Amino acid sequence: MALQTVGQVLASYKAPYINGNAAGLAFAPAFLVGLYQGLVEKDGRGVDDNFVTSELAESNTQIAVHRLIPVKLRAREIGASKNGAAYSQNQHFTTTETVGIEITQLLDEPIKIPRWTKDHLPVDVLAKYIQLFSDRIATVLNGATFASKFLATYTAKAGVGEFSAPQDIRETAFDLENDTDKVILKKFIYANGKLDRGDRGHDIDTFDRKTRVCVIKTTFGPVLKAEGIINLGGANELYRIIKNGGLNGEGTRIEDDGYVGEIDGIEVREIADIALGYASTFLGFPEEELIEGDVLGYIASSYANARGVSTSRQTQVVDEVDGQGSRILPYVIFGVKCWYQLGNSFLVEDNIDIFGNLKTLFTGKTITYKLKGEASRLYPLFGTLAFTDSTHATLTATALDDWNNDHLSGAYYVVSDAPLKTVGAFAKAALAVSANAGSCDISVATGGTITLTSAITNGKYLNVLAIADDGSCSLTSKAYSA
């Protein structure tokens, strides 16, 4: 834990004056508390919470789910020369497929509230922090759920992680600058229709429409509204919004699940940028990755996705051990898993192959791509990026664990007109034809010298991406000035 900032700034004893009269200052007896989004995917739409009870999540790190595999029925003709006798020659035994979910992500960072803080603020700080933590859980779960679908889909496309070879995925690209309202609607219906095809490889006829939800970025929602594509559905739909979308009978807001309307019979819900920031870090990317990247959202079926959460021992409050005060001890353990990537149909601005591009940039490196909380990620930390001349720069990075083992796997550079802030943008630029780009060794052991393939000119940016063996990526950049 970082040390608390130490400093002292006291107000003047002289009271402030307005028109020659002393004015008073007092603290309001309430905090200004932010509004937090509730669970975006729930009620059996988009993700299934029923496979893992709170009790199972509390006491197990792995939970297996069995699915009965239907037999392949083949008709035969009575009296035919092949298999036409009284009884069929074909027989079947029952078989099952086992999928699983890991309950290993934990929210348990203590929150310390010194007595001094409680004594000097006329508000119940303890109660408010417990409320803030509880409200924020849904945001984290929304991010983790989004990340699990993204991970399964695009590692399948690249043939990395759990996939030994590239697999089919479902992805539909939108040109938001040029597509008309009819084209956008047509593409949405087409993307939704892809789930009707099921998953032949896993004997799934179709992904039931009743199990689906569409989750989109907040930047995509206004486009759908402006083009008149989202259908709110009149008074009956208004009643449903009041009942389920966040208002109680008195009109008081109780939750915002992101509901904005329906398209093609599918509920459409917006996910907050903060949740997308969590999703990005669950994937090992910078927070801006999914917020600024090409993904717009997805249509997902709960049959393909599962989530388990235990909050049975969510929060405890104990006396502070370092002195007078209180310590909040939260405890929430959870897991999310996409079992069938074809149960998700992604909506994008441009086709995404982020893991495939990383695979190309770091060929021969052993890198694990999995869902992992930000606090346990081995994000590389950079030293100072400095130019020695127009073709050379120096930079070092480390990705240290708690035992000071360095997990830095590799690094790559590319020159661009502007700083690159997402891994996706970096990879596209680095793999572009005629790019001034290449691999580099920036480990501390070698001193970290970067040699450019061609000279960088004034105003151009040198961008460096470093990756750890757990797939965590960090970016840094600097403009060149001769």
Does residue 134 fall inside a structural domain? yes
Residues 246 and 136 in one domain: yes
Q: Which candidate, 384, 382, 379, 431, places its Cα nearest to that of 407?
A: 379
- What local confidence, expressed as pLDDT, does residue 125 receive? 58
Q: Which residues of 205-218 are buried (b: 16+ CB within 10 A; e: fewer)?
A: eebeeebbbbbbbe
Question: What was the pLDDT predicted at 238?
Answer: 55
Residue 346 lies in a domain: yes
**In the prediction, which pLDDT does 75 show?**
77
Q: What are phi and psi of 265, to 5 degrees?
A: 80, 5
Contact (CB, 8 A) for 146 and 271: yes
Same domain, 124 and 209: yes
**Residue 456's CATH number:** 2.60.40
One domain, residues 353 and 384: no
Whether residue 410 lies inside any domain: the answer is yes
339 and 404 co-located in one domain: no
Could you list the pLDDT tens digit for every one of the 482 residues in the chain? 555 555 666 666 566 677 767 666 665 565 555 556 778 888 788 887 776 767 676 767 677 776 666 667 677 778 888 877 887 787 776 676 777 777 777 776 777 777 655 555 555 655 665 666 667 788 888 999 999 999 999 999 999 999 989 999 999 999 998 888 899 999 999 999 999 999 998 889 999 999 999 999 999 988 888 888 886 554 445 545 554 545 544 444 445 778 888 899 999 999 999 999 999 999 999 999 999 999 999 999 999 998 888 765 566 777 777 777 777 777 778 889 999 999 999 999 999 999 999 999 999 999 999 999 999 999 999 999 999 999 999 999 999 999 999 999 999 999 999 999 999 999 999 999 899 999 999 999 988 999 999 999 999 999 999 999 999 999 999 999 98
Q: Which residue has the tokens 């399964």?
A: 152
For residue 2, the model assigns a pLDDT of 53
146 lies in the same domain as 277: yes
**Residue 33: inside a domain:** no
pTM of the model: 0.85
Residue ending a domain, among 324, 358, 392, is 358
| 270 and 327 together in one domain | yes
The pLDDT, as a whole number, for residue 166 is: 94
Q: Which residues pair with 346 in a beta bridge?
A: 171, 298
Structure tokens at 208: 């039931």
State whether 296 and 444 are in the same domain: no
Identify the domain containing residue 206 by its residue range.
100-358
Answer whether residue 339 is part of any domain: yes
Q: Within a domain: residue 427?
A: yes
With vertex at residue 353, the alpha carbon angle to CA 349 and CA 355, rounded to the nearest 5 degrees, is 140
Are residues 105 and 228 located together in one domain of the fold?
A: yes
The total of other beta-carbon atoms located within 10 Å of residue 349's CB is 16
- Determine contact, residues 402/267, Cβ cutoff 8 Å: no
pLDDT at site 136: 77
Same domain? For 275 and 407 the reply is no
Would you state the pLDDT for residue 254? Answer: 43
Phi-psi region of 228 (alpha: psi -120 to 50; beta: other; left: phi over 0): left
Instruction: Look at residue 273 and tell me if it is in a domain.
Output: yes
pLDDT value at position 106?
72
Q: Are residues 385 and 242 in the same domain?
A: no
The burial of 280, by beta-carbon neighbours within 10 Å (0-12 exposed, 13-18 middle, 19 or more buried), is given as buried
124 and 213 share one domain: yes
C-alpha to C-alpha distance for 290 and 288, rounded to whole angstroms = 6
8 domain residue, yes or no:
no
Number of domains in the chain: 2
Q: Are residues 275 and 309 in the same domain?
A: yes
